[in-house]
Amino acid sequence: MTDAISPLDERYRTEMSEIFTEKSKLGRWMDVEIALARAHAKLGNIPKDAVPKIEAAKGKVKLERVQEIEEEIHHDLMAMVKAMSEQAGGAGGYIHHGSTSYDIEDTATALIFRDALAQAEKRLAGLRAVLKALAQKHKKTVCIGRTHGQHAVPTTYGMKFALYYQEAGRNLQRIQEARKRILVGKMSGAVGTMATFKGQGMQIEKMVMDELGLAPAPVATQVVQRDRHAEIMQILALTAAGAEKIAKELRNLQRTEIGEVGEAFGKRQVGSSTMPHKRNPHKSERVCSLARIVRANVHVALENIALEHERDLTNSANERFIFPESFIITDYMLSEITKILSGLEFFPERIKENLERTNGLILAERLMIEIADKGLMGRQDAHEYVRELSQKAFRDGKHLREVFSASDIGKKFSKKELDALFDYSTYIGEAEKVVERALKD
């Protein structure tokens, strides 16, 4: 363990972290500079033999040297240009020809986003695989459904996991659909007019973007417009909220009073520093906690859209935080919730116990519908009739079946019919088919 300031450096570090290191960013800046030099060479603007020297310089530039130069000149991008020029020899004078800082930085940011989005897609695919397996395994695991925190009617655990599977799929689609708006770069100069390229701006920009696998922004100022960046931040927030949604449900299902599932608990794991018996759902709580940061960063990204005139610098400093933070935290959350689900424990006896906790009241809806379908009462009258019986059963602490059987309408039902009506496992409607349909995509 090092003396790090940010938990992202250690506690929440993932594969995503490597994409956002200063070293990685420096490499992407130089990739754009090399693509620009190649375009100039093809058009005869710089000597062709300068390109191999510029390419070779990339492998020789050290982050420490760039930081040393920046300390002196107070400009990070120009520090990279100077460090690269030192290693390119006589070709150094052709680096950064005609471009402005954010031609390089914003285009490099798109390259970083491309790598980061690929990692996010990988995580979402992994989460969906686990959710799909759980949905298939538990499509017949009947449990109580809850609305407003109260017992409603039976559902299945398969339904829960199929729901999360579909939502994760929508977030995956959002990433894929947003790529065309997010993965864009620019090579258009100080205010977007391409004046420094002397009539070759459109051609140079297209050549650079084609080589890098990006689309050129149709129009830009000194920067790529920040609505694009805000969109990906919102998608990350939606993805984080999806993970939080799962974690929150698992936390509630682990409450002592419910106890239907539990996070895997290691043999030597400690739940509390003072209460030895505790099995706190701390991993799920951590997921919920981190989601708040990703959501909060969306506000900052939205503030960055309205820059002054052709640009100001108010987006720059905060983007050094919000981009890596949101991507890394979301990646960690997806990894963590996938691991939680992979090791999730189920407690069948508690699931059954909770189904029976209300003494049959969760089947009042079924009873109402059956009375109406038999033509014994209209639907509204049947609702009121069963409501009164339910209140009586609750007050007297009796099973709804017992109270109903003693009523005038109840006496019209045979024991076999009552057995069927009060069988929780047969009142899940099309749940199995719904799960199968949700998993087909």
DSSP letters for 315-383 = THHHHHHHHHHHHHHHHHHHHHHHHHHHT-EE-HHHHHHHHHTTTTGGGHHHHHHHHHHTTSS-HHHHH
Please report the pLDDT score of residue 268 as a whole number: 58
pLDDT below 70 — which residues of the chain? 1-2, 265-278
Please report the pLDDT score of residue 5 as a whole number: 83
Query: Any idea which residue has 């602490």 for tokens?
Result: 397
> In this structure, which amino acid lies at residue 186?
K
User: What are φ and ψ of residue 247, in 5° steps?
Assistant: -60, -40
Q: Which CATH superfamily is domain 361-421 in?
A: Fumarase/aspartase (C-terminal domain) (1.10.40.30)
What SS3 class is residue 83?
helix
Please report the pLDDT score of residue 274 as a whole number: 54
* Cβ-contact 37, 50 below 8 angstroms: yes
- What gap in Å lies between CA 403 and CA 394, rounded to an integer? 10
Please report the pLDDT score of residue 276 as a whole number: 60
Backbone φ/ψ region at 259: left (φ over 0), alpha (ψ -120 to 50), beta: left
Picking from 283, 276, 275, 274, the residue whose alpha carbon sits closest to that of residue 254 is 283
- What gap in Å lies between CA 332 and CA 157, rounded to an integer? 25
CB neighbourhood size of 352 (10 A)? 16
User: Known catalytic residues?
Assistant: 148, 272
Exposed/middle/buried for residue 103 (C-beta within 10 Å: 0-12, 13-18, 19+): buried
- What gap in Å lies between CA 391 and CA 202, rounded to an integer? 76
What SS3 class is residue 187?
coil
The two beta strands, 345-346 and 261-262, are: antiparallel
Please report the pLDDT score of residue 2 as a whole number: 67
Q: What confidence tens digit (pLDDT) does each residue in 103-151 have?
A: 999 999 999 999 999 999 999 999 999 999 999 999 999 999 999 999 9
Contacts of 73 (CB under 8 A, 6+ apart): 79, 82
Please report the pLDDT score of residue 277 as a whole number: 57
Domain ranges of the chain: 13-97, 361-421
13-97 has which CATH code? 1.10.275.10
- What gap in Å lies between CA 243 and CA 251, rounded to an integer? 12
- What gap in Å lies between CA 80 and CA 25, rounded to an integer? 11
Exposure letters 43-75 (e unless 16+ CB within 10 A, then b): eebbeeebbebbbebbeebebebbeebbeeeee
Please report the pLDDT score of residue 26 as a whole number: 97
DSSP letters for 230-248 = HHHHHHHHHHHHHHHHHHH
Q: What is the 3-state secondary structure (H, E, C) of 311-329?
A: CCCCCHHHHHHHHHHHHHH
* Cβ-contact 155, 143 below 8 angstroms: yes
**What is each CA distance from 153 to 147, 181, 367, 425, 426, in whole angstroms?**
9, 44, 12, 11, 11
Q: What confidence tens digit (pLDDT) does each residue in 235-289 have?
A: 999 999 999 999 999 999 999 999 999 988 655 565 555 566 557 788 999 999 9
Sign of torsion over alpha carbons 40, 45, 51, 53? negative
* Cβ-contact 105, 29 below 8 angstroms: yes
